[in-house]
Each structure stands twice: as C-alpha cells, then as structure tokens.
Copies of this chain bind each other. A is one copy, B any other.
Amino acid sequence: MPDPRPIGVFDSGIGGLTVLSALVEELPGEDILYLGDTARVPYGTRSPETVLRYARRVSDHLWQRGIKALIIACNTASAHALEPLRSAGQQAGVPVFGVIEPGVEAAKAVTSNQHVGVLGTEATIRGQRYQSMLQAAGIRAQAIACPLFVALAEEGWAADPVAIDVASRYLGSLKGGPDTVILGCTHYPLLREAIAEVLPGVSLVDSAHATAKVVSTVLQEQNLENARTEGGNTHFLVTDNVERFERVGSQFLGRTPAPVELIDLDAPAGLFAEEA
C-alpha cells in the first residue's frame, strides 16, 4: 500500500540541500520536509553531547509532523546521533538514515589501493566514525578537518582561486596516498572542482547520491513509497534567518528554496521533552 506521508530530511543548516537534491532526483514523486537548524548551525564545532541534544530536538519536531522516514543529512549529526535516533525511530516504525554508512560503502566499492581519505568538520573527524568503519573493512583511513571549506562554499567562492589555495593547504598530505576521498561534509561537494584540481586522478565520493539510493531501496522494501512517481513537493523549515537560507541556499540547490517556514524549537516538547 503506497504511503503519502513526507520524508523528513534534517541538517544543521544549508549543507543538507546537496542531499535533498540527490533525493529529489532519485525519488521525484516523494514529498519532503527539509528542516535546517539555522538558529544553531554549525554543528561541526559543537561537543558530541550538544550535537545529540540539537539533533533530538530537530528530529522530534519532524516526527510530530508525521514523517515516514528520517534522513540525517548532516555528517556531524550522523556521527554523533545516528544510533539514538535510529532506536527512537524503530519504536515509532520510522526508518532513520545517516549519510556516513552510505558514503563508506561507496568508498569501499571504489578504492583499489585500500587507502581512503576523509574530509569533514572538526566534530565529524574527532567523532572517528568514518575512520573506524573504514578500518573495520581493512582500509587505511586518513582524515583531515577542513573547516574553511564551509565558509568558502557559503561565500560562493567555490570556483575562486582562493578555494584552490585553501584546498592545497589542507590536502597536501594526501598527495600520492589515497586513491579515493570521501567528501564527509554536505558542503564539500560544492568544492569538488577545487579538490579535484589539487588531487588529480583521485576518486571523490560524496554521500548524497549513495544515501538517496539506500533510502529508495528501503522505502521499496518496507512498502513506504508514494504512489506518485513524479511531482513531489518539498517544504522547507528553518529555525532562523529565512532571508539567508534563501540567499545562500540557492547556491546549493540551484534554485531558491521555497516555501520556507520559520519555526521555533526552543520550547522543548514531545518524545525527548524530558531530556531537552
């Protein structure tokens, strides 16, 4: 039986729009609720405890709106909140997806020399999730936090010579090493060209498309697909600064995100109220 409920996608802010694009491409008939926690972005410099607290609050809101699946479209939140959210989702019968596992699987399929680089935020790299999953598969992992990449992507400087300077500065130690690099932050696909120029011949893996394919498979297996095969709508929710979300988000989405609704998550309620 088809399921008309929307899919929930959450990110700390704007970066998850790269995952949203892949999802719309893969599942064009689905309605999607995208929530960007722009009042608390970035998660990448927060402590693990705070990332988990924020992720719970956001997910709680999406659950209350009646989603049929939840995608954590933020590497930092995937690194620190996937298990607790997945457990809560299981109780509610809602499958929960992170972006790290699909990215690792894609990298495993691509690497020949069993040496993979991982680029991400401070919190993602310190969380060691990518590294431990790769190492468990017998793959050597080399991880680098690249915080300036986020600022470059949001500034619209992805194609600027400065982006190549910054990429050279961060990625010098990867030259002649890994044959595959995971773009472990949803902002980084925007810098794909600059990264490719610094690391010629290296395969760049982004989790967005890999995640969208996993979601599609699971929805099908669990009979959660929408009856439609096209014409799905996306509704955007943000916790602050609609103007900036529209302006900067258009660089990520290729169009201005709309409609955008401003919501307040400061008043805790629902599933996690007692812990918020």
Can you list 5 pairs linking A and B with CB atoms under 8 Å apart?
Answer: A41-B45, A148-B155, A162-B162, A266-B266, A266-B276
User: Is there a chain B Cβ closer than 8 Å to A65's Cβ?
Assistant: no
**Closest partner residue, chain B, to A42 (CB atom):** B42
Q: Is the CB of B240 within 8 A of A50?
A: yes
If the complex has contacts A162-B162, A162-B166, A165-B161, are A46 and B241 also in contact, measured as CB distance less than 8 A? yes
| Chain A interface residues toward B at CB < 8 A | 38-41, 45-47, 50, 122, 147-148, 150-152, 154-155, 157, 160-162, 165-166, 169, 240-244, 266, 276
Residues of chain B with a CB closer than 8 A to A150's CB: 151
Cα of A46 to Cα of B13 in the assembled complex, Å:
12
A46: contacting residue among B50, B161, B240, CB under 8 A = B240
Number of copies: 2
**Which one, B151, B160, B161, contacts A151 given CB within 8 A?**
B151
Q: List chain B residues, Cβ under 8 A from A41.
A: 45
Q: A39-B50, A150-B151, A162-B169 are in contact. List 9 more A-B contacts (CB 8 A).
A: A39-B40, A41-B45, A45-B244, A50-B241, A147-B151, A147-B155, A148-B157, A157-B169, A266-B276
Q: Which of B154, B160, B240 contacts A169 (CB 8 A)?
A: B160
CA distance A241 to B111 in the complex (A): 35
Shortest CB-to-CB span from A38 to chain B, Å, is 8
Kindly list chain B residues whose C-beta atoms are within 8 Å of the C-beta of A50.
Answer: 39, 240-241
Q: Which of B154, B165, B169 contacts A147 (CB 8 A)?
A: B154
Among residues of B, the one whose C-beta sits closest to the C-beta of A154 is B147
The distance in angstroms between the C-alpha atoms of A45 and B36, with both chains bound, is 14
Q: Considering only CB atoms, which chain B residue lies closest to A149 in the complex?
A: B151
